[in-house]
């Protein structure tokens, strides 16, 4: 198994300004190699009045999977997290499903979606997500309700090592279609991505 590449911080900033009652949207993408530079950008953005939304992601590898920050609010009543399509979730959400009551030792997924992207969030507990693009194979721990893992179309994924009472929610870019994916890894490796 190849070693995981040294992470690169990636910043995607989406902002809008109300110019004579019409909204103008702009997108900036930056690759930031050092942690210090990343937090410098974060301080600048927090001080900006034009910025209404920023998405920060830690690049997992060359396969385009990335962490998505889920906004949350905490006060004396508890915490509330929320996800908005085309904001923190980078696509229109067509389907939401959740996984729960997972038996010890169970594995989920074990497939690739040909055209559907997903954001996977552990609302409670945690699990290991194994990602594979037929060239690179990585494992990451998903265990934070305010951080989702974006799994783009064309990336093989499998969920394993579930904590007891784990609850997982998945937001998908497409409705369910049994023809839209395969559970056969050999077929996947031959696909022309």
Give residue-wise pLDDT tens across range 86-99. Answer: 888 989 999 999 99
Q: What is the pLDDT of residue 193?
A: 60
93 & 169 share domain: yes
In a domain, 26, yes or no: yes
Q: Identify the residue whose tokens are 């050999």.
A: 186
51 & 68 share domain: no
Share of the chain above pLDDT 90, in %: 49
First-to-last C-alpha distance (Å) of the chain: 21
86 & 154 share domain: yes
Q: Which domain holds residue 40?
A: 1-59
In a domain, 180, yes or no: no
In a domain, 141, yes or no: yes
- Rounded CA-CA distance 98/131 in Å is 19
- Rounded CA-CA distance 167/125 in Å is 7
Give residue-wise pLDDT tens across range 157-187. Answer: 999 999 999 999 999 999 999 888 899 888 8
In a domain, 181, yes or no: no
Number of domains in the chain: 2
Q: What pTM was computed for the model? A: 0.69
Quick one: average pLDDT of 37-63?
44
């Amino acid at each position: 198994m190849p070693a995981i590449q040294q992470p690169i911080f990636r910043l995607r900033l989406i902002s809008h300004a109300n110019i004579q009652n019409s909204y103008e949207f702009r997108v900036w993408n930056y690759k930031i190699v050092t942690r210090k530079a990343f937090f410098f950008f974060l301080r600048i953005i927090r001080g900006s009045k034009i910025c209404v939304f920023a998405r920060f992601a830690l690049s997992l590898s060359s396969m385009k999977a990335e962490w998505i920050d889920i906004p949350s609010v905490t006060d004396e009543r508890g915490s509330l997290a929320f996800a908005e399509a085309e904001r923190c979730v980078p696509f229109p959400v067509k389907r939401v499903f959740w996984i729960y009551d997972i038996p010890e030792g169970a594995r989920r997924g074990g497939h690739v979606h040909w055209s559907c992207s997903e954001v996977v969030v552990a609302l409670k507990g945690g699990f290991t997500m194994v990602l594979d693009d037929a060239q690179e194979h990585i494992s990451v721990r998903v265990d934070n309700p305010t951080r989702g893992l974006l799994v783009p179309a064309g990336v093989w994924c499998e969920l394993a090592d579930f904590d007891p009472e784990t609850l997982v929610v998945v937001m998908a870019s497409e409705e369910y279609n049994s023809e839209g994916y395969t559970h056969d890894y050999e077929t996947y490796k031959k696909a022309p991505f």
